[in-house]
Amino acid sequence: MDYPKRYGVVVIGGGHAGCEAALASARMGVETLLLTHNIETLGQMSCNPAIGGIGKSHLVKEIDALGGVMARATDKAGIQYRVLNSRKGPAVRATRAQADRILYKAAVRHTLENQTCLDIFQQSADDLIMEGEKARGVITNMGVRFHSDTVVITAGTFLGGLIHIGLESHSGGRAGDPPSIALAQRLREMPFRVDRLKTGTPPRIDARSVDFSKMEEQPGDNITPVMSFWGDGSDQPEQVSCYITHTNEKTHDIIRAGLDRSPMYTGVIEGIGPRYCPSIEDKIHRFADKNSHQIFIEPEGLTTHELYPNGISTSLPFDVQLDLVHSMVGLENAHITRPGYAIEYDYFNPQDLLHSLETKFVEGLYFAGQINGTTGYEEAGAQGLLAGLNAALRSQEKEAWTPRRDEAYLGVLVDDLISMGTKEPYRMFTSRAEYRLILREDNADIRLTAKGRELGLINDTIWQQFSKKKEAIEQETQRMKDTWVQPDTETANKLNEFIERPLAREYSLMELMRRPELDYKKIAEITGENSVTGVVAEQVEIAAKYEGYISRQLDDIEKLKRNESMKLPTDMDYDKVKGLSNEVKQKLVECKPETLGQASRIQGVTPAAVSLLLVSLKKHRGAKPLATVSK
Amino acid sequence: MNDVLHSTDTIAAQATPAGRGGVGIIRISGKKANDIALQLIQQQKYLQPRFAHFQKFYDNNQDVIDEGLVLFFPGPHSFTGEDVIELQGHGGPVVINSLLNRVLNLGARMANPGEFSERAFLNDKLDLAQAEAIADLIDSASEQAARCAIRSLNGAFSDHINVLVEQVINLRLYVEAAIDFPEEEIDFLADGKVEGDLQSIIDQLDIVFKEANRGVLLKEGMKVVLAGRPNAGKSSLLNALAGRDTAIVTDIAGTTRDVLREHIHIDGMPLHITDTAGLRESPDAIEKEGIRRAWTEIKDADRVLLLVDAADVQESDIKTLWPDFFAELPDLNKVIVVRNKIDKTDERSGVSELNSSHVINDVNEALSIELPTIRLSAKHGEGVDELREYLKKAMGYQSAVEGGFTARQRHLEALKQARYYLGIGQTQLTDNGAGELLAEDLRMTQNHLSEITGEFTPDDLLGRIFSSFCIGK
């Protein structure tokens, strides 16, 4: 049957990408349908029970800055928080929270159910409704036809999912859930380039069978950080500790003895797994000289005894899993509640996407999350948000938006995927961001919230809260710039006690704060002026400390913008560009970059090739009106 | 839309061919061109447009580098459409080198191959019909530049740089791993390892920089490779070419026992001549290696002189004699056949050249037409002058595009920038304990070094981290 209500956006999948996509589109006032095969698993954390970490928290805060749910759900569910790299400087600091799965899921579901313009429907999606080359809706398993302007697919590992434990394998989207075979089949019929990836998960353990007294306790930070810009931590649940144990020679022997029954080492698994999150058998095999690995024992939640032993992801047979767990200190009598497994799944070459995450072949069809070759809740959520907002923009007949690499980790993520593709599950790291000093987790709101407001993603309450903070930062920065300290005054003498070179001329407070010996707090103590909140002071201080670096990066960004604003026509005939080597031509044809800037980031595309493209563009523009170039 | 085409930076390059010309011209284009000129000549006043000012050029110690003419062409009425300054000084390589260095220090950056013309085109100073020509220029200029870069990286300099780059990568590996994987018990920033390694890299870079500056490690000039059988008379030709040149004959360090390099000047223009092992099939392992190296040299050459004994080989036989040689050559247009020992035959000395605009496209064509041929007697000197003239002409052509001189400038500039960022990074680490800022400075260091050695992406770096450390919570 044709469903009577017509939607602007239909989102397939209720994982982290799907939830953010549906919420973003609905926040923008576009009628949205979230189609999930099981309402009970909306917002499910299917792998480790943690949100954030290096590079990832940056994405979470960006989602938050654009009004998304992930950070706020984390604050409702976070049971152990730590700021990583806290001694290494603000640009690389990252918040990480252990989350209670049940609380997290509940928070996400609560948000979804209370979002206006958003309907939820439980049924698996089997097919797309096509109008020529355009996606115009979804057909469900029982034949319900939902008509829409756009479709966002966030199928995660469910497309052609194949679960491995030892040499046994069966199809599945996640342990206990069926895969989406029909939809995978349908998508494989389209001209997308499909390949296989692999990921894995460790066996879970019953806390009642674990001896914590033999393990090292890892408590959360003393002052519990807050993930969301818009919260104050008052809704955070009770805080608990994680524990650390280690593998040992015995563990390694057990694993080595089991390798002949490992699907990874017997060639059963063909998909490529992530290098940064190797299975325990991989670690033992590749780093044979290391005789111990640390294993983090993470609680799955406050109301369950299940534990997540982070670091022993494995697809070895169950009997080996049991032995290797028992070989570790504190886990001698551990009871496994769920076996670990590896899962292989389809992903689509992200080079077939535009920066809006719309597919190049089918108008109105968007892909987000693991389907694009990424891994991680945060990477998925960020893409979901972007795909959702762009699907909504298309439905509103507005122009697409994607942050540039210098504006957000989200921009880096999408540009990396689209320009270079990926051969392993893509995870964010701060070293991927060339503008790392500007793209910090502490300033994601300053970078993105105004844009979010413009797009319709930010409600009035958040907007007011943000505007107030921004104004306070500006005022305080101005005050620090305008307040001068003369040498040989009382203030100067007090300052001289802390600094190496005494003040020889007048300095503004802003200049003084650049000195390594001084910070906002010290200056505030000495001058007796401190009227701003911690977050405001932090922003002012970081701006002072990073000043030289930030202005250098801003110069670079100016140069970058020229190439970013030069659009390359999608039907550009690279064969006709004189002087390009065949290798460069092939890469350009493969990737079909949208801008000159993107072209310049494809590996092997030389500065000379970029010059040739620029000349060629100019030539065409000279010959034809501008409109034919900027599509 | 048009204004986005405007570049933000100011570029500079030598506009005249390398070598000892009478006048050397440096061209500067961009917003800062005028400022740079005023600082160079230590004047505050405005330069009258399109007027030749006779001025002294000063270095940063107020010493005079040279004196000459300064011309200011304000945009848009200039070659590139931007503000352009032309400095006309004396043509010697040392003077021009110092002048260009000073200009770069004052805030210009070394122009990319063909960049002046590119800017002219983008700013509507050249018409559409010239677009193809610009594309050709960028293409050939950058190819030439790449070849020059590779060449100036031969031997000792290359070894130094490669070691340095490897060490920078290694250091970044530790710094980035400490930042991106703080839970892996690999905090190298805290344990002093990074500090020590950084100091060692800085020390080495200082040495390399000093040597490069003295010209010990880098040589400029066109590269000519002599190929042919041992008895074809290569050594005689080498002596004939070098012997008449009363100036310089040097052995360059790093000479391999099977590839002999000579550095000579013809009328002040530098030239590298490389003598290679005979190219023939050989079962002997050492000779095989010699031949492999000979091929490396040939592929890297600007001109290949294929020497034959005129008494042994008929002119028509040359191509059929060595079909494999022609098939393997990457560019057939750089081969010139030298028929030596014409004193033993009745041939007349001289050059028979192809129509200069003719481009040979493939092996079959090369085999079917007459290759440029020079007949000479290295022993008696007949025809050697013609060869010198021929080489000079070839050299003049290539210098106009981008010579080894510019390639060297580029490298020195890159090294200087790399050294600068290493210094800042070191301060950040030792004074401020700011590992993330050191990381940024190391990234800049590598960006500059990569102009010499090629791209290294964040993904390459991550790959190295994952293969070096067992990462994975």
Interface of B with A in 418-457 (CB under 8 A): 431-437, 439-440, 443, 455, 457
For residues A31 and A388, the answer to whether their CB atoms sit within 8 Å is: no
In A180-277 the beta strands, taken as DSSP E runs, fall at 194-201, 204-206, 216-218, 242-246
Higher pLDDT, residue A452 or A553:
A452
Q: With an 8 Å Cβ cutoff, are B179 and A619 in contact? A: no
The answer on pLDDT for A603 being more than 90 is: no
In B116-177 the beta strands, taken as DSSP E runs, fall at none
For residues A536 and A472, the answer to whether their CB atoms sit within 8 Å is: yes
Q: Does A630 touch chain B (CB under 8 A)?
A: yes
Nearest CB partner across the interface for B118, out of A278, A420, A615 = A615
**B413-440: average pLDDT:** 90
Q: What is the ipTM of this complex?
A: 0.87
A214-230: burial string, b at 16+ Cβ within 10 Å, e else: ebbeeebeeebbbbbbb
Cα–Cα distance between B424 and A494 in angstroms, integer? 29
What is the structure's pLDDT at B336? 84
Identify all chain A residues contacting B454, using CB atoms and an 8 Å cutoff.
Answer: none
Q: With an 8 Å Cβ cutoff, are B1 and A277 in contact? A: no
Cα–Cα distance between B232 and B336 in angstroms, integer? 15
The answer on pLDDT for A508 being more than 70 is: yes
The answer on pLDDT for B278 being more than 90 is: no
DSSP per position, A454-518: HHT-S-HHHHHHHHHHHHHHHHHHHHHHH-EE-TTSHHHHHHHTT-SSPP-S-EEHHHHHTSTT-
Q: With an 8 Å Cβ cutoff, are B435 and A429 in contact? A: no
What is the structure's pLDDT at B152? 56
Nearest CB partner across the interface for A603, out of B9, B122, B455 = B455
The answer on pLDDT for A461 being more than 90 is: yes
pLDDT tens-digit series, residues B297-311: 787 787 888 888 887
Q: Does A23 touch chain B (CB under 8 A)?
A: no
**A362-373: average pLDDT:** 96
Rounded to the nearest 10 degrees, the angle between the axes of helix B404-432 and helix B193-213 is 150
- Joined tokens for residue A174: 């996640």
Q: Does B134 touch chain A (CB under 8 A)?
A: yes
Cα–Cα distance between B10 and B19 in angstroms, integer? 25
- Among B305, B246, B236, smallest CA distance to B272 is for B305
pLDDT band (50, 70, 90) for residue B401: very low
Identify all chain A residues contacting B113, using CB atoms and an 8 Å cutoff.
Answer: 608
- Among B445, B456, B158, smallest CA distance to A604 is for B456
pLDDT band (50, 70, 90) for residue B330: low
For residues B368 and B409, the answer to whether their CB atoms sit within 8 Å is: no
The answer on pLDDT for B111 being more than 80 is: yes
Higher pLDDT, residue B114 or A112:
A112
- Of all residues in chain B, what percent carry a pLDDT higher than 90? 17
pLDDT tens-digit series, residues B113-140: 778 888 888 888 877 667 667 777 777 6
Distances, alpha carbon A541 to alpha carbons A380, A476, A552, B159, B390, in Å: 32, 10, 18, 44, 66
Q: With an 8 Å Cβ cutoff, are A286 and B470 in contact? A: yes
**B213-219: average pLDDT:** 54
* Cβ neighbours for A104, distance < 8 A, ≥ 6 positions apart: A43, A45, A49, A51, A73, A74, A76, A77
Higher pLDDT, residue A503 or A348:
A348
Cα–Cα distance between A130 and A135 in angstroms, integer? 5
What is the structure's pLDDT at B250? 39
Rounded to the nearest 10 degrees, the angle between the axes of helix B458-468 and helix B156-180 is 80
- Of all residues in chain B, what percent carry a pLDDT higher than 70? 70
Distances, alpha carbon B217 to alpha carbons B20, B93, B154, B204, in Å: 21, 16, 9, 14
Which has the minimum average pLDDT: A14-28, A511-525, B65-79, B272-286? B272-286
For residues B26 and B93, the answer to whether their CB atoms sit within 8 Å is: no
The answer on pLDDT for A425 being more than 70 is: yes
What is the structure's pLDDT at A570? 77
Instruction: Please report, to the nearest 10 degrees, the dihedral formed by the alpha carbons of residues B381, B387, B393, B399 taken in order.
Output: -100
**B104-109: average pLDDT:** 89
pLDDT band (50, 70, 90) for residue A56: very high
Cα–Cα distance between B174 and B439 in angstroms, integer? 10
> Which chain A residue has the Cα nearest residue B139?
A579
Q: What is the pTM of this model?
A: 0.80
Identify all chain A residues contacting B459, using CB atoms and an 8 Å cutoff.
Answer: 420, 432
Q: With an 8 Å Cβ cutoff, are A619 and B131 in contact? A: yes
DSSP per position, B342-390: GGGSSPPPEEE---TT----SHHHHHHSPPPEEE--TTT-TTHHHHHHH
Identify all chain A residues contacting B179, using CB atoms and an 8 Å cutoff.
Answer: 54, 85, 88, 92, 430-431
> Which chain B residue has the Cα nearest residue A54?
B180
pLDDT tens-digit series, residues B37-81: 999 998 887 889 999 999 999 988 888 888 899 999 998 889 888
* Cβ neighbours for B398, distance < 8 A, ≥ 6 positions apart: B144, B222, B302
- Joined tokens for residue A156: 């995660």
- Of all residues in chain A, what percent carry a pLDDT higher than 90? 67
What is the structure's pLDDT at B371? 74
**A458-476: average pLDDT:** 96
pLDDT tens-digit series, residues A210-224: 999 999 999 999 999
**A164-181: average pLDDT:** 80
Encoded amino acid at B356, one letter: S
A579: closest CA of chain B, how far (Å)? 5
**A258-286: average pLDDT:** 86
Mean of the per-residue pLDDT values for chain B? Answer: 76
A311: closest CA of chain B, how far (Å)? 5
Cα–Cα distance between B35 and A329 in angstroms, integer? 70
For residues A115 and A392, the answer to whether their CB atoms sit within 8 Å is: no
Higher pLDDT, residue A574 or B251:
A574
For residues A75 and A82, the answer to whether their CB atoms sit within 8 Å is: no
What is the structure's pLDDT at B353? 65
Beta-strand pair B335-340/A216-218: unpaired
- Joined tokens for residue B432: 């401020």
- Joined tokens for residue A69: 């749910």
Across A60-69, A309-318, B124-133, B420-429, the highest mean pLDDT is recorded for A60-69
